[in-house]
Structure 1
Amino acid sequence: MFYPKRFMSSVLAMLLLGLTFGAHAQLPDFTELVEQASPAVVNISTRQKMPARSVAGAQGLPDMEGLPPMFREFFERNVPQVPQGPGEGRQREAQSLGSGFIISEDGYVLTNNHVVADADEIIVRLPDRSELEAKLIGADPRSDVALLKVEGKDLPTVKLGKSEDLKVGEWVLAIGSPFGFDHSVTAGIVSAKGRNLPNESYVPFIQTDVAINPGNSGGPLFNLAGEVVGINSQIFTRSGGFMGLSFAIPMSVAMDVANQLKVDGKVSRGWLGVVIQEVNKDLAESFGLERPAGALVAQVMEGGPAAKGGLQVGDVILSLDGKPIIMSADLPHLVGSLKPGSEAVLDVVRDGSRKKLEIAIGVLPEDGQAITGIASPGVERSSNRLGVKVVELTEEQKKGLDLKGGVVISEVQEGPASLIGLRAGDVITHLNNQAIDSAKTFTQVAQGLPKNRSVSMRVLRQGRASFITFKLAE
């Protein structure tokens, strides 16, 4: 059957139009969500008395050396110039801009700790442009959460959601003040959950591709139900701007912190007293695991909860209270959420066998404790097929490192040790899952190492312990 060309063109256009409408029909409409949620989202500015700097301070501006042009222009527009008088010790005012949101009608506000850190004055600006001075109730640098309080009644509030119900691929929306542009709205999807970032062990971050820029920090992340599921906190960037990787603090973590700050003014977290590391394929093979999973205990703090509960170096923790540990980073999140003094059941693998340990959770110390100090090696030496020379640890060294045995590397020669990155001064405490108590033991174990199979070695370098693996080919 013949169809006129004009007819076919019309049919094709209708089909394309239908496909377009169909695609748009599946996209979410955020307008109602924004209308309902925006009144409770606030802009936060801080003022801090700071010593004047030689160049930038003379203009009343922060030191902007190395900043991208857009940031320099932003500061020049928004930071007030302060006249400077003669003499040293001059003071200037600095401003930073961030976001926050009201969680109670009587004026409690959540934001990031880094937004208000070291501030002498905190100003909360509402959507109607009115400004209120805020009091800092408490802040927690470890989770980067701060709780503020402004005086008010019947203030607009956000709805709080459950971050644990979020699913990867779900639509989310952010409202904040990037670069000082109040109530800017950006949307995207949840890219991943439970992300662990360097130096952020106690927050299982929500990763999104929502556009987040300087000034968005502390603002809310909403789900499609209009509920806050996270606090926008960090971005990954090489340019200083958004690059598609944004991280939000889960609301479950933020509210636990906020409630503790409100009641106690500080946050208490659970603590095991161990140093852990990831279990890769080679380590899994070395420890007789079916697959690479869990948290490998590289160090146990003397007198800590783990030591008292019987946890040992070389144990692989597979679960805590029935919750699986897939990545080693899962463990700090779970332990930190436990109440100090509570009992936890750990499922561990030790010497190829599974066992359960009951451990009383301790309180995470305020300051980290580092083990340092390796004295000069002694005179007893032992060479072996690994290509290292080792010496006995002195009693003083053992005491300083909290060790009962081990040997220290005095020289690294050509061979396997050099290839795996061992250095003079490294302390070896375990080899092939066997404790090393002397240079003689080390030599004996090294001589019996298997060929073409992953072998583990526990090494202390500058006081920090970790397991490494290698294979001997010959």
Structure 2
Amino acid sequence: MNRDYSPGGPSVLRSLWLVLAQAITIAVGVLLAWRALGPAPAGPSPAPDVVSVQEAPHPASVASIQNRVATASLEGGFRTAAAKASASVVNIYTRKTPPRRLPNWLRPDGGEDGATQGASSLGSGVIVAAQGYILTNNHVVEGADEIAVMLPGEKVAEARVVGTDPESDLAVLRVEIAGLQPITFADPASVQVGDVVLAVGDPFGVGQTVTQGIVSATGRNRLGINTFENFIQTDAAINPGNSGGALVDTSGHLVGINTAIYSRSGGSQGIGFAIPVSLARQVMEQIIATGRVSRGWLGVSARDVIHETTGAAAGAALVAVQRDGPTDQAGLRAGDTVLAINGKEIPDTAALINETAAIKPGSQAQFKVLRGREATTVLVELGQRPAVRKR
């Protein structure tokens, strides 16, 4: 059977209808595509902070989201850390009774004899053992005749001094109360510049207070505050009354004992100093065990050696050696430069003092010494560092 392809036949009409249908379909498709992809009609702008899930966020947006998540996490951590640390921080009140005044007729100035008033002061402390041991600053309790401790829950107890160490400005007290919650000590190596820290104490006697900041620096020394200085610097607000209180990390672990502030006006300047937990623990354990701190001693005076080219510290040069002292007996003499002790580099006199003090008296230490142009090794038996008189 032959089909008719002549003009005007049925096949031509079907072809025309097919072409028209295809044209309509294409037009509708183009219209839909234009509406979907073309400019949006005028109207209300989308709500802010709505991010299309179909677009990868800009790196800045990613950082912002991560920061918000981290901040939310840390805020919860601050609450937990503050509660944990606060349960181990106490307020310390001391009273010093002045000498009794002379009767008027014996006083050179002939003045009136008023009632004797005790000098009171306040500070903070940290519970370090369930047996009632409390760590604080020496200057908080120095010379006190009476010491009272306000514990968490506002219990008040009389405290006695177990021992003090003026050279590190630390002291250990003890109260006879059960059920105390000691603080947890942080790993000293975990403390880094930029870490978030909380200061817990009793500033100005207003009551237990928590402030927040960061670790601004570590290893601060030569400040003239203590003989042995290795301070953590922080910008967490530390004010009078915070002395002896806790500096903790965001887990509530003790990283330092708040000790001093740098101030030209008497107020907080964002520069506070805390004794690191490494030194605090060393002193605390000795005081609890023996009532005092024993440190190694060389019997020398020294000065820093500065490298001529780089200007960096390059050792501790002995200026004078005490006759019959530990270094004299070991054969060291003035002019020798100490480069290392037991393999640990000694860049300056501060390191020399701190490293020798940490060695047990009566034990031997290996000193690497530069004499002239030659390096030599000398064994030195350290003596007992003389006790410092109380101020």
TM-score, normalized by length of structure 2? Answer: 0.77
Residue 42 (str. 1) matches residue 86 (str. 2): no
Match of 1:221 in 2: 247
Distance 1:219 1:258 in 2: 15
1:202 maps onto 2:228 in alignment: yes
1:50-199 equivalent positions in 2, closer than 5 A: 50=98, 87-88=112-113, 90-196=115-221, 197-198=223-224
Q: Once the two structures are superposed, what CA deviation does each residue of 1:400-428 show, in whole Å capped at 9, x if it has no partner?
A: xxxxxxxxxxxxxxxxxxxxxxxxxxxxx
Supply the distance in 2 between the matched residues of 1:51 and 1:13 (Cα, whole angstroms).
Answer: 73
CA distance in 2, matches of 1:3, 1:270: 81
Q: Aligned ranges for residues 249-268 of structure 1 at < 5 Å?
A: 249-268=275-294
When residues 292 and 155 of structure 1 are mapped into structure 2, their CA distance, relative to the original with a 3 A threshold, is: closer
Q: Which residue of 2 aligns with 1:243?
A: 269
1:372-422 superposed Cα distances (whole Å, 9 cap, x missing partner): xxxxxxxxxxxxxxxxxxxxxxxxxxxxxxxxxxxxxxxxxxxxxxxxxxx
Using the TM superposition, give the Cα deviation of residue 241 of structure 1 relative to its aligned residue in structure 2, in angstroms: 1.4
| Residue of structure 1 aligned with 2:318, choices 297, 305, 328 | 297
Q: CA deviation at 1:21?
A: 4.9
Give every structure 1 segment of 4 or more consecutive aligned residues whose post-TM-superposition deviation is greater than 4 Å.
Answer: 1-21
> For the Cα contact (< 8 Å) 2:166–2:388, is it kept in 1?
no
Shift of 1:23: 2.4
Q: Is the 8 A contact 2:296 2:356 kept in 1?
A: yes
Kindly state the Cα deviation for residue 326 of structure 1 after the two structures are TM-superposed. 2.5
CA distance in 2, matches of 1:178, 1:208: 16
Where 2:140 maps in the other structure, the secondary structure is helix
Matching residue within 343, 346, 362 for 1:325: 346
Q: Aligned to 1:330, what secondary structure does the other structure show? A: helix
Separation in structure 1 between the aligned mates of residue 225 and residue 64 of structure 2, nearest angstrom: 46
**C-alpha distance after superposition, 1:89-147 (max 9, x if no partner):** 85212211100011111211111110111111101001211110101111111111111
Higher relative contact order by CA 8 Å / sep ≥ 6: 1 or 2? 2
Q: CA RMSD in A?
A: 2.7
Residue 6 of structure 1 and its aligned partner are, at CA, apart by 7.3
Instruction: State the SS of the aligned residue for 2:286.
Output: helix
Which of structures 1 and 2 has the bigger CA Rg?
2
**Aligned CA distance change for structure 1 residues 140 and 22 (closer, same or farther; 3 Å):** same
1:356 is aligned to 2:360:
no
**Is the counterpart of residue 212 in structure 1 residue 238 in structure 2?**
yes
The change in CA–CA distance for 1:10 and 1:139 in structure 2 (over 3 A counts) is same
Contact 2:364 2:379 in 1 (8 A): yes
CA distance in 1, matches of 2:177, 2:300: 45
SS in 1 for 2:278: helix
User: How far has the Cα of 1:331 moved from its partner?
Assistant: 1.5
Find the aligned partners of 1:37 and 1:331 in 2 and give their Cα distance: 34
| One-letter amino acid of the counterpart of residue 308, structure 1 | Q
How many correspondences in the alignment?
A: 331
Structure 2: give runs of 5+ residues left out of the alignment: 1-37, 52-56, 102-110
Report the identity percentage.
Answer: 41
How far residue 17 of structure 1 moved from its aligned partner, in angstroms, is 8.7
Take 1:357 and 1:211, find their aligned partners in 2: how far apart are those partners?
A: 47
Contact 2:95 2:144 in 1 (8 A): yes
Question: Deviation of residue 328 (structure 1)?
Answer: 2.7
| Cα offset, 1:290, TM superposition | 9.5
* Counterpart contact for 2:96–2:144, Cα < 8 Å: yes
Aligned match for 2:368, one of 332, 337, 347: 347
- Contact residue 203 and residue 253 of structure 1 kept, 8 A: no
Amino acid paired to 2:132: G
